[in-house]
Chain A
Amino acid sequence: MSSTPLRAPAKAPPNGAEMAVSHLGRALSVTGTLDTDGEVHIHGKIQGRINADRMVLSAGAAMDGDIVARDVQIAGRLNGRIFAVNVTLDASADVTGRIFHHTVTVARGARVDARMPWRPPSYFETLDQLPETRP
């Protein structure tokens, strides 16, 4: 029926939990703020801030800015701060900045140039305004 289909019709995501998962592809760069109650997977470049429930910065991805989430997994490059209850740094991670966490896992091989202040979980629940920190 449609005589001029788009070049690559992106399929609608399946229903259910996957609806809340966002993928930002390798070629995508975002300048600004990302806000979600669900999950974000980042393969591209971000400059700004991410608020999410769970966020994954995959290998090859690069981010400049702050991440506020419950679970954070980093396999790419991050220059900024993480505010998360659970933080996982994979072997390919390259993090510069600060990691405010309740639990943190660092894989062997990860490059971490960061201070890692521990915080109780209540700290993250009441995190309305991010603290000013000097690099």
Chain B
Amino acid sequence: MTIFNRNDKAPDGSDIVTPPREMPAPPVTAETKRPVATAQPITSSVSSPSSGVSLISKALKITGQLESTEDIRIDGEIDGDVRGVSVTVGSNAKIKGTVYGDAVELSGTVNGKIEAKKVVLTSTARMSGDVIHQDIKIESGAFIDGHCRPEFGKAGPKPAAVYKPNAAAVKPADAEFEAKH
């Protein structure tokens, strides 16, 4: 009885004065139900099946890296890199860092970089930085300060590595040809 009372008052930070011990137990029905009521939402929330899509609500701020092999929706604030399959950045969201993904839909603010196969900048998007994409859609009203480069999936050093052996292989052949004729 007294323990239950103390439990309920504690979160408020209000008086934790334990009620007098000699208090009898007539209002047991109302009081005993309380702990049950607080326990029930807890169990239901744990078994909620929404473990697939991640939701960063607008009240949440994350400093660090996020990595997922599933979809992410961000309405909060991220200070760091985000890696996901489909990343949706809500209109009130702020990201400082790089967003990697298969598909990125931006309605909020990104200060950094986007690297994704499919990029959508909606009318409320604010993008400061480069967008590396294969397929991009920019709605009217979107703000973008940076380069849009269709280079997603094209690794930088690879072409150079391919060209050099070719050049090296061609030159001796040419030299031989010139020497013979």
* Chain A interface residues (CB < 8 Å from chain B): 2-4, 6-10, 12-13, 19-38, 40-41, 43-44, 48, 56, 58-60, 70-71, 73, 75, 85-86, 88, 90, 102-103, 120-122, 125
Contacts and interface: CB of A to CB of B under 8 A. Distances in A.
Contact of A22 (B10, B46, B59, B137): B59
Contact of B58 (A6, A19, A59): A19
A32 B102 contact: no
B46 A4 contact: no
Contacts of A33: 62-64
Nearest to A103: B7
B86 interface: yes
Contacts of B61: 34-36
Interface in B40-73: 42, 45-46, 48, 50-73
Given A7-B103, A120-B16, A28 B68 contact: yes
B26 interface: no
B96 interface: no
A85 B10 contact: yes
Given A30-B66, A44-B68, A88-B42, A22 B102 contact: no
A98 to B, nearest CB: 19
Q: Which bucket holds chain B's interface residue count?
A: 35 or more
A44 B61 CA distance: 17
A38 B52 contact: no
A25 B52 contact: yes
Given A27-B70, A86-B10, A56 B45 contact: yes
Contacts of A103: 6-7, 10
Contact of A29 (B67, B75, B85, B118): B67
B46 A122 contact: no
B115 interface: no
Nearest to A45: B67
Interface of B: 6-7, 10-11, 13, 16, 39, 42, 45-46, 48, 50-73, 75-76, 79-80, 84-86, 88, 90, 102-103, 105, 118, 120, 135, 137
Contacts of B65: 30-32
B72 A28 contact: yes
A86 B85 CA distance: 36
Nearest to A88: B42
Contacts of A40: 60
Given A28-B70, A58-B51, A6 B45 contact: no
Contact of B53 (A21, A23, A30, A90): A23
A2 B137 CA distance: 9
Contacts of B54: 23-25, 27-28, 44
A3 B58 CA distance: 28
A7 to B, nearest CB: 5
B147 to A, nearest CB: 21
A75 B86 CA distance: 28
